[in-house]
Structure 1
Amino acid sequence: MTKTALITGASRGLGLALARSLATRGWRLILTARGADALKPAADELGALALAGDVADPAHQDRLARAVRDHGGLDLLVNNASGLGAVPLPPLASYPLDVLADLFRTNVLAPLALVQAVLPDLRERGGAVVNISSDAATGAYEGWGGYGATKAALDQISHILAAEEPEVAVWWVDPGEMDTAMLADAVGAEEAAAAPGPETVVPTLLRLIETRPASGRVSHP
């Protein structure tokens, strides 16, 4: 039976790198990202279904869940889409709370909403969830408090889901620093370019997906 994956933030970076590897392994892919202009060529390259939209939008979450059911179910949900928050990275003492609230909607509530929407499909097929976390979830890095708080919340949500849903594997993965547009926005293009490319993280994700170890937090490498 062909396996199906839903990947958010799939138009670039780690989401696209993982999608490319799964496509070579025969997976059926549902890809989403905010920008249709970048998402469509990626999906066309991989023969995937492209559904552009904001994962924090309940209407888009419903649309993705309907697409899953139209494709006959789901084996893998990858919550990769993420926001950075206020830039330049501010200290918590002056963090704009409206921006932080939006960041929690994108980085915490949206992944949980998607899990809730597709959980019956994942349960039926013994599927898995990969939530992309960060070392900022556990480390006290100046300026990263807002982003790190959202990732710490995502870690805890993942941990509880793993306990509550024993038939569904749940991994929350810290990929380490990657040369991505998000990192460049945070630290500058020159420093970001010194980090490994997102494709270097894909083998770690494939190992989880293909060998299905116990649910838990995973750090790369």
Structure 2
Amino acid sequence: MTLKILIIIPCYNEQVSLPILLQEINTLSLPTEYELDKIIINDCSKDKTSEVAKANGAKVLDLTCNLGIGGAVQTGIKYAIKHNFDFAVQMDGDGQHPPSELIKLLEHQKLTQADVVIGSRFIDKKGFQSSFIRRMGIRYFYGLNRLFTQKSIYDSTSGFRLLARKALNLAAINYPDDYPEPESLVIFSKANLSIKEVPVTMRGRLGGKSSIGSGASVFYGFKVSLAMLFSFIRN
């Protein structure tokens, strides 16, 4: 039985990093039981993200308005369901998630039958570890997620994650709009989905700049904290 995997790559102004990332995906070798495809969700980029993606052989969905990362990822999730994929893997367009690490997520899902598998940079602490300020924020979200989910998720902000079919079905109808990674774990946990974490090695972004500047970090933390709380108390 062949299992279909869709790599969902949400992008906003990632024309610099995309050629390298897509080339790595195109040359990726997986076990024969898996069939791999990829799609770029172009979130109203102002550069040549769409053209670069198409020139490198990727399917592209060009959004007509900027939805933010949550809306872009959910668009890819709905595409995955419509086209009968068994798994979807979120992978950042900036190249921080090496495609070669995907096999670790797949092997862990096969071993545990988890609904969600998160690639974590903080278990083995290898590779790029992010800035000190961001690590402090991630520790904060670790505590908040432990409070709301009763689970120890060390890299709850990781955008490198695999969703199996139950998680896909839920995320297609209920997925946070802005910076969804921590909040979505509350939603998945409330639905009693199995969430696992596996160590991966990440790297610094290959181009472009982060959508969360240092000055916006405090506002981001406050906003996501409220969103997690509301998701926790909502029926």
TM-score range for the pair, normalised by the shorter chain length: 0.3 to 0.5
Which structure exhibits the higher relative contact order, with contacts defined as CA atoms closer than 8 Å and separated by 6 or more residues?
Answer: 2
Q: TM-score, normalised by structure 1?
A: 0.41
Q: TM-score, normalised by structure 2?
A: 0.39
Instruction: Determine which structure has the larger helix proportion and give its number.
Output: 1
